[in-house]
Structure 1
């Protein structure tokens, strides 16, 4: 196979991996599109280096490592790390709260819906009061702090409904 065809094939494979990894994450999460775009661009740049110079062995090694990092390892690891347990819990709470609002024929999700959904799943809304910070934060207005375990402080996730029934979940 010619070096040009090999480089184009690798560039296409890197773009395919980047797109599939980006779409594998729930749409309610912050997908880090800017970082994903930059890594895809760097992978394509490494593939373009395959087109230019095939004579130096060191350049081929650096290009191969760059393709492996930017075309496979970073997109896959971003996808795996995007849903830790507290984010999964917040997504489940968001779904339950949305279903409760739709059941009551409302076009917005209330704070009470989120609190009821979190408590039904064994979690809580708001930061855990401690000696250092006795005031509970994130329990009365969006973005709400959602904790997967009632008696555990961190880790937690922030949940908001900026457009009625459309949830946004992000790490706090």
Structure 2
């Protein structure tokens, strides 16, 4: 039985990497920062490793490096970055955004107000704004967007920044 030619291996690996990268990117909630730059760089590196497999040289080390690169940049990195994209504070902020949007729609408002976000955050046991400390007594992120959302009232971290673009479209990112 004849082995698969290097160009066929390379094209197959490249197609698999693109499919995995797209599936991993689309699996993340659209309100979150999807780390497009990081995902793009890993896809380019995976495609470069697929190009290494394109050559017809019979060096085993070159094939091992190509396969290892495709495995890491084409599968492991996209899947782990998708799996780790929703820590508890992000899930809390997503729930707050949903509650605030529902409150705005119930009031027939065209935009989510800061008061609605504060009410939704407090109803879930969290707080809006940075935690006042001796070192930094000023509370930031409590009066205008982007708001600092904390899942626990008594802890300054972890926290997430929440803003609403175009009235009802939430954007969540790390602060």
TM-score (norm 1): 0.96
Instruction: Find the aligned partners of 2:138 and 2:125 in 1 and give their Cα distance.
Output: 22
Give the corresponding residue for 1:158.
161
Point out where structure 1 has 5 or more consecutive residues left out of the alignment: none
Give the corresponding residue for 1:142.
145
Contact kept in structure 1, 2:6 and 2:55, CA below 8 Å:
no
Give the corresponding residue for 1:118.
121
Partner SS, residue 34 of structure 1: helix
Report the RMSD for the aligned CA atoms in angstroms. Answer: 1.0
Higher mean alpha-carbon deviation, 22-31 vs 126-135, is at 126-135
Give the corresponding residue for 2:46.
43
2:85 corresponds, among 63, 73, 82, to: 82
Instruction: Find the aligned partners of 2:17 and 2:75 in 1 and give their Cα distance.
Output: 7
Deviating runs (4+, > 6 A) in structure 1?
Answer: none
Higher mean alpha-carbon deviation, 22-31 vs 78-87, is at 78-87
Point out where structure 2 has 5 or more consecutive residues left out of the alignment: none
1:63 corresponds, among 61, 66, 69, to: 66
1:105 corresponds, among 104, 108, 111, to: 108
Instruction: Find the aligned partners of 2:174 and 2:69 in 1 and give their Cα distance.
Output: 29
Higher mean alpha-carbon deviation, 23-32 vs 40-49, is at 40-49
Give the corresponding residue for 1:168.
171
Work out the number of aligned pairs and report it: 172
Instruction: Find the aligned partners of 1:71 and 1:88 in 2 and give their Cα distance.
Output: 27
Q: CA deviation at 1:171?
A: 0.3
